[in-house]
Chains A and B, each alone.
Chain A
Amino acid sequence: MYTKSILSVLSLSLFIVFTGCKKENPNPITYDYAAQINNIANNVIVKTYTSFDEKTSILASSLAALQSNPNDINLTAARDAWKEARIPWESSEGFLFGPVETEGIDPSIDSWPVNTVDLNAVLASSATLDKNYINSLEGTLKGFHTIEWLLFGISGNKTINDFTPREFEYLAGCSAALEDAIHQLYIAWIPSGGNFVNKLVTAGSGSNIYTSQKAALEEIINGIITIADEVGNGKIYDPFSEQNVSKEESRFSANSKIDFANNIRSIKNIWLGDYNAENSLGFSSIIKEKNSTLDTKIRTQIDEAIESILNIPGTFSDAIFNHPAEVQNAQDKVRALQLSLESEVDPIISNL
């Protein structure tokens, strides 16, 4: 009897301690967004980089073909390939975290402005312009914008006869170097390579950098806020407010509007859960269950931002002077999206 009582009291006490501790926990985790994080990591980020890897390979072969057979058809194909490769890159700028930054790959992809003085010096030199040599150069002598400057010309009207053999050689070497850089980025993410995707997927359950799912979601929301800020307050605002085309990102190819729209599409892809498609496990699904009106609002604001950018008449270089109302409207729409993400969506994640 005595022993039995002791045991029952002990059991009761341990139960109190156990359940009491549970109740004492100040921040109980009441959510599980592993499926959404997994989906965004794989179906948005890795898919975007997979496309980027493929498209830069096509760009490299197009520029190799242009060097071998310089003609109008190959020139048009190379310019199209450049624009095609730009799509996944701009669509990845909503998640510029992980290897693109930590492995120092970004400067090899998208450095701006082009160091035209040094580029001309390189072209005039006797150096062999292969990818190994170009890899040894500064970021401002390689990547998308250097290729763009050579391929489209400063006024965008360069003809096949305007190219020198050294320029063809440089374009082939430069695009091969870009192809390698993007392949390195792709490999760094996939499970059979550097497996960075696993650091996101295991957030809160073993990831050494994302100690909670909340931290991973904050990384993701922070990424899309950052690109909205950059498009609204940098990429559109700087050349527009200063009336200065030399501050415009892709002016040689007249591709700026498409670039900006694809930046916003990177937000859309995160929101809808797939690369240029939609599934049920996007960021949207997290917000929708808490505030479906907000989810609808973000979807509308994303589409309005993309539409207003694409509706700017003519080239962006021309529009900053001749269509200020439309440029202003696009900037306003992007800023409205940014504001909603910052002031309404971010707090939901911060308060998880």
Chain B
Amino acid sequence: MKQKYLFTGFLVLMTWVLINSCNKDLTDNPYYEPGEENAGGNNTIELETSNTFDTPSPALTAAELQMHKDGLVFFEGKFVTNPAPVQGGLGPLFNQSSCEGCHAKNGRAGFPVFQNDLGGLLLRISINGSGPHGEPVNVPYFGTQLQNKAIIGVLPEAQVNWTMESHDEMFADGEVLALQKPVFSLNNPYTPLSENTLISPRVAPPVFGLGLLDAISESTILSNADENDLNHDGISGKANYVWDDLNAKTAIGKFGWKASQPNLYQQSAKAFNEDMGLTSTLYNIESSNGQIQSDAYPDDPELSTQDLELTTFYTQSLGAPRRRNASNATVLKGKQIFIEAKCASCHIPKLVTGITVDNPFNNNQTIFPYTDLLLHDMGTALADNRPDYLANGQEWRTAPLWGIGLTEIVNGHTNFLHDGRARNIMEAILWHGGEAESSKNYVKKLSKTDRNALEYFLKSL
């Protein structure tokens, strides 16, 4: 009798064990949110290959897909010096000759390999102060972006070199990680460069999912702002307000490492103008205007309004990749740590898009970009000390983390942060300071197992 009870008891116990030990990939974990795999809502890309970020949203109509492909021609096409029968208008000064030259496979640029051959990295420059709309002030005879390339026969603005500074960070368990930080310098300028030039290195960020971020309303962004830290959690979050050149008014900034661009049309036009030297109807003056490199060739605008609109549409109509292993137990443990360390206070997992007139496929989508699109003080170690509208020299926009786990398969590297200094995700975490100092310290105290879980979670994004 006693044995029968014992047997029954064991069966009950083992049934419980069975239920609770088999859920390595089940979805009843409180940290699992149903639907979080679909990071882009209806625009989620169901692919885990090097082409994932290149893939158009599956929610496009046939006509929208054709527009996307028409825009791709400008995004991937290489531009050449005018006069040319096709793809003309490059330069005279430029950083790269195509969008893809920086945004390879629509992904993230790595840290450059060779001096002065910067790949997808460029330097924003300015002198102290701000312009009439709060914008950075031109470095005389150089502007606000350094172009280290030029068409043949024209002098580039300067050569760009860097040296590395390194220091060690130690986890509580004694493991040490050596961090490195690039310090850039400008050499052989074509004309003397102001001694007060501020330099901000920026790597090209991923392009996918931008249409969804564009569709997030100002009120949604502001609902997460806490500029004066009224809730006393040590994290503020403020919106950048920038100048909208098309509508000639101030607008909330969403794009770029400091949220200094208000929309993708302006972002695209600015990149054509500054990065490639192509004039458009929005920016009809060459970036080299007023400098000896400026050309007198009567070809402006080099890009029609329609071409610019198609390119913009291309960036708006890419989806966002589906999460991998979102309900895996280790991933969910990592997510729990991510929340407990308050990473999720800025890298906000879930947002809902608003309404856009032009791109209905991006409307009312529940997305998981892991950003608040707000500026945060990230401390002195990450500071570029170059203000950009309301962003001061220590503030950066929270970088979206979606797709971060596919960086290696798409781009062949795991370089992160605004200048690509971090060589892997854990290095990137350890560079966090300022408002994220306590989060970093939380991570430093974790066991190796928990750190691995955190990384595993981030790689699932």
Assuming the contacts A104-B119, A139-B97, A215-B48, asked whether A233 and B69 have C-beta atoms less than 8 A apart, the reply is yes
Q: Say how far A25's CB is from chain B's closest CB, in angstroms.
A: 7
- Do residues B78 and A218 form an inter-chain contact, with CB atoms below 8 A? no
- Beta-carbon nearest neighbor of B406 in chain A: A209
A191 at interface by CB-CB < 8 Å: no
User: 1/0 per residue B124-164: CB within 8 Å of A?
Assistant: 00000000000000000000000001011100000000000
1/0 per residue, CB under 8 A from B, across A180-220: the answer is 00000000000000000000000000001111000100110
Please name all residues of chain A whose beta carbon is closer than 8 Å to the beta carbon of B413 when the two chains form the complex: 102
**Set of chain A residues within 8 Å of B153, measured between Cβ atoms:** 121, 125
Contact between chains at A122 and B6 (CB < 8 Å) = no
Report Cα–Cα, A136/B22, bound state, in Å.
Answer: 57
In the complex, A27 Cα to B26 Cα: how many Å?
Answer: 11
B3 in the interface (beta carbon within 8 A):
yes
A156 at the interface (CB under 8 A from B): no
> Could you say which residues of chain A place their CB within 8 Å of the CB of B412?
98-99, 101-103
Are B7 and A219 in contact (CB-based, < 8 A)?
no
Chain A hits for B86, CB < 8 A? 113, 244, 246-247
A18 → B minimal CB distance (Å): 10
Chain B residues lying within 8 Å of A215, measured Cβ to Cβ, are 48-49
A20-B18, A115-B90, A350-B46 known; A25 and B25 CB under 8 Å?
yes
Consensus secondary structure, chain A interface: helix
Contacts of B51 in A (CB 8 A): 97, 219, 222-223, 226
Q: List the A side residues contacting B69 at CB < 8 Å.
A: 233
Is B183 in the interface zone, CB < 8 Å from A?
no
Tell me if B298 counts as interface (CB < 8 A to partner A).
Answer: no
A contact residues around B49 at 8 Å (CB): 97, 215, 218-219, 222
Interface status of A289 (Cβ within 8 A of chain B): no
Interface string of A99-134 (1 = CB under 8 A from B): 101111001000111111110011001000000000
B409 touches A209 (CB 8 A): yes
User: What 1/0 flags go to B397-411 for Cβ under 8 Å of A?
Assistant: 000000000001101
Q: Are the CB atoms of A107 and B78 closer together than 8 Å?
A: yes
Residue B101, interface by CB 8 Å: yes
Instruction: Using C-beta atoms within 8 Å of the partner chain, give the interface range for chain A.
Output: 35 or more
Q: Are B11 and A24 in contact (CB under 8 A)?
A: no
Q: Is there a chain A Cβ closer than 8 Å to B197's Cβ?
A: no
Residue of chain B at shortest CB distance from A17? B18
* Distance between A109 CB and nearest chain B CB, rounded to angstroms: 13
Residues A118 and B80 in contact in the complex (CB < 8 Å), given A102-B411, A222-B51: yes
Q: From residue 368 to 423 of chain B, which have CB atoms closer than 8 A to chain A?
A: 408-409, 411-413
Interface status of B84 (Cβ within 8 A of chain A): yes
A101 to B409, CA, bound (A): 11
Minimum distance in angstroms from B335 CB to a CB of chain A: 18
Interfacial chain B residues near A112, Cβ < 8 Å: 78
CB-based nearest A residue for B105: A101
B324 at the interface (CB under 8 A from A): yes
- Complex CA gap A21/B117 in Å reads 53
CA of A24 to CA of B19 in the docked complex: distance in angstroms?
A: 10
Cα–Cα distance between A90 and B69 once the two chains are bound (Å): 22
Let me know if A211 and B324 touch, CB within 8 A: yes
Neighbour of A117 across the interface among B3, B22, B80, B119, CB < 8 A: B80
- Is residue A10 within 8 Å, beta carbon to beta carbon, of the partner chain? yes
Q: Which of B84, B105, B151, B413 is most buried by chain A, counting CB atoms within 10 A of its CB?
A: B84
Asked if A5 meets B3 with Cβ closer than 8 Å, knowing A20-B18, A247-B86, the reply is yes
A300 lies within 8 A of chain B by Cβ: no
Assembled-state Cα–Cα distance A104/B412 (Å): 10
Please state if A118 and B101 are interface contacts (CB–CB under 8 Å).
no
* B59-91 Cβ-contact flags toward A at 8 Å (1 or 0): 000000000010000000010111111110010
Q: Does B184 belong to the interface (CB within 8 Å)?
A: no
Bound complex: CA of A139 vs CA of B51, how far in Å? 22
Residues A61-83 near B (CB distance < 8 A): none
A350–B6 Cα distance when bound, in Å, is 48
B65 to chain A, nearest CB (A): 11
* Least Cβ–Cβ distance between B184 and chain A, in angstroms: 20
Looking across the interface, which residue of chain A has its beta carbon closest to that of B80?
A115
Tell me if A21 and B22 are in contact (CB < 8 A).
yes
A318 vs B101: C-alpha distance when bound (angstroms) = 33
User: Is B50 an interface residue, CB under 8 A from the partner?
Assistant: yes
Residue of A nearest to B66 (CB): A233
Q: Is the CB of A5 within 8 A of B78?
A: no
Determine whether A6 belongs to the interface, using a CB cutoff of 8 Å to chain B: yes
Q: When the two chains form the complex, which single residue of A26, A102, A117 contacts B82, counting CB atoms closer than 8 Å? A: A117
Residues on A with C-beta less than 8 A from B18 are 16-17, 20-21
Q: How far is the CA of A218 from the CA of B45 in the complex (A)?
A: 13
Closest to A219 in B: B49
The answer to whether A104 and B80 touch across the interface, beta carbons within 8 angstroms, is no
Q: Contacts of A223 on B, CB cut-off 8 Å? A: 51
Closest-by-CB residue of B relative to A15 is: B14
Q: Knowing A101-B105, A118-B152 touch, does A17 contact B6 (C-beta < 8 A)?
A: no
A98 CA to B412 CA in the complex, in Å?
A: 7
By beta carbon, the residue of chain B nearest A26 is B25
Query: Do the beta carbons of B47 and A222 come within 8 Å of each other?
Result: yes
Complex formed: what's the CA distance from A266 to B323 in Å? 31
**Smallest CB separation, B76 vs chain A (Å):** 10
Please tell me which one of the listed residues A17, A111, A114 contacts residue B14 in the complex, with CB atoms under 8 A apart: A17
Q: How far is the CB of B291 from chain A (nearest CB, A)?
A: 19
Chain A residues in 8 Å Cβ range of B105 = 101
Please, could you name 16 A-B residue pairs with CB atoms under 8 Å apart, sorted by A? A13-B14, A14-B14, A17-B14, A20-B22, A21-B22, A97-B49, A102-B104, A102-B411, A103-B412, A111-B78, A116-B80, A117-B152, A138-B97, A215-B48, A219-B49, A247-B86
Give chain B's interface residues, CB within 8 Å of chain A.
3, 6-7, 10-11, 13-14, 17-18, 21-22, 24-26, 46-51, 69, 78, 80-87, 90, 97, 101, 104-105, 117, 119, 149, 151-153, 324, 408-409, 411-413
Give chain A's interface residues, CB within 8 Å of chain B.
2, 5-6, 9-10, 13-14, 16-17, 20-21, 24-27, 97-99, 101-104, 107, 111-118, 121-122, 125, 136, 138-140, 208-211, 215, 218-219, 222-223, 226, 233, 244, 246-247, 350
Known: A24-B26, A117-B152. 19 other contacts (CB 8 A): A5-B6, A5-B7, A13-B13, A17-B18, A24-B22, A97-B50, A98-B50, A101-B412, A115-B81, A118-B81, A121-B151, A121-B152, A136-B117, A138-B97, A140-B78, A209-B408, A211-B324, A233-B69, A244-B86
The 3 A-B pairs of least Cβ separation, nearest first, read: A102-B412, A13-B14, A115-B80
